[in-house]
């Protein structure tokens, strides 16, 4: 009897469990269909992260933070160290954007122009550029961003008359090239480099270290900056003297930020312009990769009367840490040959000197500066063999690297070399 009652109780318990499972399953089905209906009503569901999600390391959403501060500015006084040549009072965005020059469409069209503060191959809304005034009342263009990246195979052409300062609140990585050189008009200065004299008559080079002109068939002098310009060659049959190379000027700190001087100009043709001035500033690490190039060269002097080459420009790097595996160059251009053809080459993006112009009927132009030789070479003399003497080569520009420790890493090419007076390392200025 007891066995039958026990079996009966067990049966009832089992029935109750089944009923509960059926009810629970039905309730879950109702919730599922209700959820699907709600998703369809609002336009679809997604299992991905919210579009504004930064990640677990950041408590803020990207769009809310960016939109809240998109138009807000603050002074540069918040920057972790004192930036050379740029006043602390300059107003910059609270939330700057990255500047990334990358992609196959960007390889041959990337530009930054300091005349109108524009850029190509970059979203206009992410490009923040403004004009500032230095201590000597000259103008510079200041670009402010979060991170600056130039990809391998991307060549960024630097244009405009004002020197350029690129400031990043994060890292700067250069795996491509930043170059300021007018390959068509050799007498046009870029980024504060002094243009050569125009017109058909002889004229002294522009800038504090401009090369002297020659009034006859002797060569004109090369432009100077840190290194002296080379003298023009002498034509023994000429009743006029050769033009002397320009005298050095400037300082190792590159304050203010200014470019190099142009070569002297003879009769018809063009002398070489001086190299421009570029300053890169990173609050963290500034890295120039093994294929990266920063080149601020002097242009080569033209042929026909041996015009002088322009001096190299200026490169100022400031960051907590700097690593150079690629090339940083500010070399002078070669002088022009004495006859109708044979232009001098612009300053080279390596440790070698730019060759002076050469041809079989005229004296050769002098070489520009190199890593170890900071002065331009003299033009070749004409000793009744040729149709005119060569122009002098341009002298070296300045290179300065300021870091927290006063040293930098890497085995890249720096030309002029740090073994010369024209390239040096220093310590970034702390806030006072």
pLDDT of residue 413: 98
pLDDT of residue 359: 86
pLDDT above 70 for 295:
yes
pLDDT of residue 14: 44
Tens of pLDDT, residues 296-339: 999 999 998 899 999 999 999 999 999 999 999 999 999 999 98
pLDDT of residue 35: 45
More confident residue, 200 or 51: 200
pLDDT of residue 124: 82
Region of poorest pLDDT, from 46-55, 278-287, 378-387: 46-55
Q: What's the mean pLDDT in 105-123?
A: 93
pLDDT of residue 112: 98
- Model pTM? 0.84
16/127 Cα distance (integer angstroms): 71
pLDDT above 60 for 227:
yes
pLDDT above 90 for 423:
yes
Tens of pLDDT, residues 126-156: 899 999 999 999 999 999 999 999 999 999 9
Token representation of residue 303: 């042929």
Q: Are 403 and 425 in contact, with CB atoms under 8 Å apart?
A: yes
pLDDT of residue 16: 46
Q: Are 175 and 156 in contact, with CB atoms under 8 Å apart?
A: no
346/356 Cα distance (integer angstroms): 9
pLDDT of residue 11: 43
pLDDT of residue 328: 98
Tens of pLDDT, residues 243-279: 999 999 999 999 999 999 999 999 888 999 999 999 9
308/6 Cα distance (integer angstroms): 116
Mean pLDDT estimate for the chain: 86
pLDDT above 90 for 22:
no
pLDDT of residue 174: 98
pLDDT of residue 21: 44
Region of poorest pLDDT, from 91-95, 103-107, 288-292: 103-107
Question: What is the DSSP annotation of 172-217?
Answer: EEESSEEE---SS-TT---TTPPPPP-SSS-BPPSSTTPPPP-SSS
Tens of pLDDT, residues 51-101: 322 233 333 322 333 444 557 999 999 999 999 999 999 999 999 999 999
Most confident of 50-59, 170-179, 229-238: 170-179
pLDDT above 60 for 388:
yes
pLDDT above 70 for 209:
yes
pLDDT above 70 for 356:
yes
Q: Which one, of 299, 284, 266, lies nearest residue 195 by Cα?
A: 299
Q: Are 163 and 131 in contact, with CB atoms under 8 Å apart?
A: no
Which distant-in-sequence residues (6+ apart) come within 8 Å of 381 by Cβ? Answer: 233, 234, 235, 236, 363, 389
Q: What's the mean pLDDT in 396-409?
A: 98
pLDDT above 50 for 370:
yes
pLDDT of residue 41: 38
270/308 Cα distance (integer angstroms): 9
Region of poorest pLDDT, from 114-118, 138-142, 240-244, 338-342: 338-342
């Amino acid at each position: 009897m007891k066995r039958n009652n026990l079996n009966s109780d067990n049966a009832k318990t089992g029935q109750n469990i089944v009923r509960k499972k059926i009810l629970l399953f039905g309730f879950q089905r109702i919730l599922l269909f209700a959820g699907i209906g709600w998703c369809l009503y609002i336009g679809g569901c997604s299992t991905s992260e919210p579009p504004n999600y930064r990640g677990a390391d950041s408590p803020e959403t990207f769009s809310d933070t960016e939109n809240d501060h998109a138009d807000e500015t603050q002074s540069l006084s918040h920057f972790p160290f004192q930036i050379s040549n740029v006043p602390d009072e300059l107003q910059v965005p609270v939330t700057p954007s990255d500047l990334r020059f990358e992609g196959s469409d960007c390889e041959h069209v990337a530009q930054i122009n300091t005349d109108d503060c524009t850029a190509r191959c970059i979203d206009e809304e992410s490009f923040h550029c403004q004009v500032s005034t230095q201590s000597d009342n000259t103008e510079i263009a200041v670009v402010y961003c979060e991170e600056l990246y130039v990809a391998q195979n991307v060549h960024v052409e630097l244009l405009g008359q004002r020197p350029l300062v690129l400031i990043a609140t994060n890292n700067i990585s250069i795996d491509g090239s930043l170059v300021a050189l007018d390959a068509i008009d050799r007498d046009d200065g870029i980024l504060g480099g002094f243009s050569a004299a125009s017109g058909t008559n002889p004229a002294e080079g522009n800038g504090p270290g401009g090369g002297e002109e020659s009034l006859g068939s002797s060569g004109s002098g090369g432009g100077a900056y840190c290194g002296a310009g080379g003298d023009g060659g002498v034509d023994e049959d000429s009743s006029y003297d050769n033009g002397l190379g320009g005298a050095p000027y400037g300082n190792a700190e590159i304050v203010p930020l200014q470019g190099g001087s142009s070569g002297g100009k003879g009769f018809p043709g063009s002398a070489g312009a001086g190299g421009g001035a570029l300053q890169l500033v990173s609050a963290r690490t500034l890295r120039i990769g093994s294929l990266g190039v920063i080149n601020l060269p002097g242009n080569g002097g033209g042929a026909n009367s041996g015009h002088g080459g322009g001096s190299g420009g200026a490169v100022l790097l400031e960051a907590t840490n700097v690593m150079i595996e690629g090339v940083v160059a500010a070399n002078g251009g070669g002088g022009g040959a004495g006859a109708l053809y044979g232009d001098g080459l612009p300053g080279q993006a390596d440790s070698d000197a730019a060759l002076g112009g050469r041809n079989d009927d005229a004296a050769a132009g002098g070489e520009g500066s190199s890593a170890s030789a900071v002065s331009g070479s003299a033009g070749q003399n004409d000793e009744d063999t040729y149709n005119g003497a060569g122009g002098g080569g341009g002298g070296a520009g300045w290179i300065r690297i300021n870091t927290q420790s006063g040293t930098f890493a890497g085995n890249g090419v720096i030309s002029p070399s740090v073994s010369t007076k024209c390239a040096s390392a220093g310590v970034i200025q702390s806030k006072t």
